[in-house]
Amino acid sequence: MTPVKKIMTVDPTTIDRADPLSAAMSALESAPYHHLVVTENDQPVGMLSTTDLVRLLHDMEFEIDGPLRNTIDEYYTIEDAMSVGLQSISATSSVRDAAIILSQGTFHSIVVLDEDRLAGIVTTTDLARYIVDTTEQ
């Protein structure tokens, strides 16, 4: 059994639930992946992905003059965009356990916890890399 900690993305980018949505947009632009763990009092409470932002912006029913980042905080918060049905898994759980959760298609990332502490995230990309690295052609 391969533990999920062997394939997870360590030190994921986090953002506090109270931070402005524009800060989340900037963090996603500079991150090498497309998910931010949303925290409150250093505890994971949600996930914010580029897909969540696209969905939110697609549903906008008003016009914005000027750059979106300059005005988005007037209309939306991180809480408006984030996914709250947070899935988590222990760092010692198996890769298969993570694959079962991700195969349901509801989420593209899972928060990995070491006891109650954020240890990383496992994404569908992490899982795909593991399959490529461990299977024969």
Hey, what domains does the chain have and what are their CATH numbers? 4-134 (3.10.580.10)
pTM (two decimals):
0.85
pLDDT at 68 over 70: no
Q: How much is the average pLDDT of 4-15?
A: 93
* pLDDT 10s digits, 37-62: 999 998 999 999 988 888 887 766 65
Write the DSSP string, 38-100. EEETTEEEEEEEHHHHHHHHHT--S---S-HHHHHHHH--HHHHSB-S--EEETTSBHHHHHH
pLDDT given for residue 66 in this prediction: 54
